[in-house]
Amino acid sequence: MHPVAALQTEYSPSTRDPEVELLPLPVSGIGFVPYSPLGHGFLTGQLTSPADIPDDDWRKTNPRFVGEAFEANLRLVDEVRAVGAEVDTTPAQVALAWLLAQGEDVAPIPGTRRVARVEENTAADGVVLTADQLARLDALTPATGERHNEANVASMDR
């Protein structure tokens, strides 16, 4: 048997699945590495309509980024944006700061293609959220829509 050093799964203010079965487990010394901590870009506040997503982008077929689900999920962004305005920071930094506040063993890995975004994301380490702000973010209802479309789900367990 080999010891587990880290666990990686999707986790963000919009994807809270790990809170049900993984995070309550009493483990020590195991790091938690949330991927897609910005909700595949949704929590950056840059997407305001499905038209903002390029036609060749996989999110065009993701259940969380289409139709009524997209509109419903804007409420998450609105609250993250509101907290950001209170602490004079970006929605992305708020989402990352919320994750970092979940424990010392949490190390989110946001993906990006731009140096400016790396710098913005790194600066989230200096964002301090109040207990009230954390509680408001904790109270957010998770995103509407499945995490993946049927084709992606079918390919995951191969």
DSSP assigned state of 34: E
End-to-end Cα spacing for the chain: 24
- Look-up of token digits 């409420």: 75
Note the pLDDT of residue 143.
87
Beta strands in the chain (DSSP E): 6-10, 31-35
Yes or no: say if 3 and 52 are a contact pair by the CB < 8 Å rule: no
CATH architecture of 6-156: Alpha-Beta Barrel (3.20)
- Is 28 or 80 the better-scoring residue by pLDDT? 80
Lowest mean pLDDT segment, chosen from 9-23, 56-70, 93-107, 113-127: 9-23
Kindly report whether the global pTM for this prediction surpasses the value 0.85: yes
pLDDT tens-place string over residues 75-125: 999 999 999 999 999 999 999 999 999 988 889 999 888 899 999 999 999
Residue 12 pLDDT > 80: yes
Residue 154 pLDDT > 60: no
Residue 157 pLDDT > 70: no
User: For the chain, how long is the longest CA-to-CA vector?
Assistant: 49
- Is 31 or 99 the better-scoring residue by pLDDT? 99
- Is 41 or 3 the better-scoring residue by pLDDT? 41
Q: Where are the domains of the chain?
A: 6-156
Q: Which of 31-40, 43-52, 78-87, 141-150 has the highest mean pLDDT?
A: 78-87
DSSP assigned state of 35: E
